[in-house]
Homo-oligomer: A and B are copies of this chain.
């Protein structure tokens, strides 16, 4: 049985990754919510702050009582007490009066400004000299000025940053609904692959890919699970894939790039009910021998065996799929994932595929240069020497020295 698969373009693959649904929602304590994806929009139920408060150490006053005050002609006010921290003032503020309070203290009723300690002097008989005019609302955070009740500042699909967590705390949110963190199984396959903790025999290769891929999964907000190495035997591969499918949300087969290994991966995928091969080969270099399939609603990637190729596919295709599973919307831009640079040499490319070229960044002579790190896609050291990569689009014959390029940073 011979099947013909047309190479898919990157946009076609991305369209397919978007068909997968976000994972389930879970309720977690706020202290664990950093970098998780919100599965609900959060609306303030009350004003933040709930009362007007001082931003300085000083005296709560009626601003108009200080109008015209200066060092030569101070306003004279009567000190009628002190507002304790965390307490509600006991009495309202009458005309000509002042109440002492510290930063964060609540303004008494009828006070509308705070004069800083530095511009006052309290005399023995509870008389306060004020040496400066303060404007209404000066040194005051008004009730609801941070977040008015009814405002929605954080929406479903946002990945929570430190300040977002702080805002949630300020709103009194103790637990948040977030999407589950994608669990990702990594299976290495191939008769030549051996575990890093046994001595290497001639002809064998250490399982470097599992470790690099696990790092990428963690960097993308997923939870990697190394399931170990499977030799090229169909029943063992099926068995291991079944474990991955049962325990995780996405299975990555880090396979050899040989035709035999690819055939085996396809056969193993097909052995499951409701299996469908969605992508079998992509117009990308490196990374062409990539498989994407679904088993029921669960995605499974067959990654190329060369480490650079596998890492390109992770970045270009697995990342968007994980974004999708994680429920992350693209409201917030990934500013800073790329940087502009000048290409340091000519690069040839082939029409009909997208090329990804590793580059090192070198600032020199006022320019940021992108210097290609050449080398076969089997060499992981080239990734260690590089800072990012540039993309040569599908229908471009190459790029010229001196061209401005966009470097996708690692």
Contact B338 A336, beta carbon cutoff 8 Å: yes
**Minimum CB distance partner of A34 in chain B:** B215
Given A30-B196, A163-B311, A361-B333 in contact, is the A260-B102 Cβ separation under 8 Å? Answer: yes
Contact A104 B205, beta carbon cutoff 8 Å: yes
Contact B163 A226, beta carbon cutoff 8 Å: no
Contact A311 B167, beta carbon cutoff 8 Å: no
A178 CB to nearest chain B CB (Å): 14
Q: What is the 8 Å Cβ interface bit string for chain A, positions 87-102, against chain B (1 contact, 0 not)?
A: 1110000000000001
- Cβ-neighbour of A86 out of B167, B173, B197, B203 (below 8 A): B203
- Cβ-neighbour of A166 out of B35, B171, B257, B307 (below 8 A): B307
Contact A191 B361, beta carbon cutoff 8 Å: no
Stretch with Cβ within 8 A of B (4 or more), from A124-132, A290-298, A379-387: A379-387
**Would you call A165 an interface residue if the criterion is a C-beta within 8 Å of the partner chain's C-beta atoms?**
yes
Contact A141 B376, beta carbon cutoff 8 Å: yes
Contact B117 A383, beta carbon cutoff 8 Å: no
Q: Which residues of B contact A383 (CB under 8 A)?
A: 163, 166-167
**Would you call A396 an interface residue if the criterion is a C-beta within 8 Å of the partner chain's C-beta atoms?**
no
Count residues of chain A with CB under 8 A from any CB of chain B.
104
Q: How far is the CA of A200 from the CA of B141 in the complex (A)?
A: 18
**Would you call A219 an interface residue if the criterion is a C-beta within 8 Å of the partner chain's C-beta atoms?**
yes
Q: How far is the CA of A219 from the CA of B162 in the complex (A)?
A: 8
Contact A161 B410, beta carbon cutoff 8 Å: yes
Contact B166 A215, beta carbon cutoff 8 Å: yes
Q: Which residues of B contact A147 (CB under 8 A)?
A: 381
Given A86-B194, A169-B196 in contact, is the A106-B335 Cβ separation under 8 Å? Answer: no
Contact B211 A380, beta carbon cutoff 8 Å: no
Contact A141 B378, beta carbon cutoff 8 Å: yes
A161 CB to nearest chain B CB (Å): 6
A353 CB to nearest chain B CB (Å): 17
16 contacts between A and B (CB under 8 A): A50-B202, A53-B205, A102-B261, A103-B261, A104-B205, A105-B192, A105-B203, A106-B202, A117-B259, A141-B379, A145-B379, A146-B378, A146-B380, A163-B215, A174-B197, A335-B407
